[in-house]
A = this chain, B = another copy of it.
Amino acid sequence: MLKKRLFTPGPTSVPEEVLLEMAAPIMHHRTDEFIKIAAEVFENLKYIFQTKNDVFIIASSGTGAMETSVVNFLSEGDKVIVISGGKFGERFKEISLAYKLNVIPVELEWGKKLDTNIIKDLLEKNPDVKAVFGTLCETSTGTHFDIKALGEIVANYEDTILVVDTISSLGAVPCMTDEWKIDVVVTGSQKAFMLPPGLAFISVSEKALKKIETSNLPKYYFNLKKYKKTLAKNDFPFTIPVSLIVGLRKSLQIIKNIGIEKIWEEHHIRAEATRQAMISAGLKLLSESPSDAVTAVVLPEGVDGDKLVKILRTKYGMSIAGGQDHLKGKIIRISHLGWQDEFDVLTAICGVGVGLKDMGINIETEKAISAARKVLFGSSQ
């Protein structure tokens, strides 16, 4: 019986305390007891989102919330800027095109930084742009984007909103929704929230709320007007996954008790340790602006990353992620998300070394572990 370890950027491990809460007998979603739980959850979500805005809960994957952020604030033919530096930025483009929006794509090489001046210039030339779509952490490359700078730029335009996919990063790295002037923040339950997949969350600013009134894109299940109406009663327009909400209450309590700043710091340390380890091992990071949510590591030429993923999974019970699309087989991705501690980081680093060794490839695993220990525990002694 292999001990299972999840280092994938979702789903991530769920603490036993949360699993047990979810295993309690099902309650009806229109009882006082459940409405009280929902009220607590809605309130605590605002804390994680660092916002005073309403945060809506939808029963879907993160992609459902991405679609929600397109269909509620825009109208057919609207001009939008979509920043894309990986698979998930591309998804915003695909959704926008599915709804016949007029997309101005800003395509970056995967792993590259965004020069926010590009967006500034584009908006100056296209003041009729209705929304700018960005990503806080592009999961496919482990790249962090400077959303704060984007917020400053977009805030100058009265009729333009900033929509940010934080699916793999909210709760792991700072996302100051209100302070950074992000109008719409989209995320999912199966990453830093320490929950199984099945819920998505979306916060909406006053500026974005106004756009709901005029949006003419067709929608029903993702129609935020319905969610807005029921939120006032701490209710949901459609049957919500009650057991996941009960789990969410618990995980939000855990996060709140630790403190979100402390959790960001812990993610940073785990990510930094992994980065130092990989560099010390002689490997390269893919991203020139690495996120603390997930680290993408470039494998030596000729080494099959998918094979490494498979060996780790089948022989050692350890799940890391491989590369997607044109990076398939070329990189591995190690997540720092959610319920992990320092020893888990050492485990992941050691696992990569052992797996590569099984493939006949030697990296400097000892140096890697030593470098990680220095970051994690302040010393490698």
Residues of A within 8 A of B (CB): 4, 6, 8, 10-14, 19-20, 22-29, 31-32, 59-64, 67, 94-95, 98-100, 188, 190, 196-198, 217-223, 238-244, 313-314, 319
Contact = CB atoms under 8 A, between A and B. Distances in A.
Contacts of A220: 63, 67, 94-95, 98-99
Nearest to A310: B32
Copies of this chain in the oligomer: 2
B242 A196 contact: yes
B28 A8 contact: yes
A204 to B, nearest CB: 18
Listed from nearest, the 9 A-B pairs whose CB atoms lie closest are: A198-B241, A23-B23, A61-B238, A196-B243, A28-B319, A19-B23, A197-B239, A95-B220, A63-B238
A54 to B, nearest CB: 20
A29 B11 contact: yes
B23 A239 contact: no
A26 B241 contact: no
A239 B59 contact: no
A11 B94 CA distance: 34
Contacts of A10: 239
Contacts of A25: 4, 13-14, 19
B221 A218 contact: no
Nearest to A14: B26
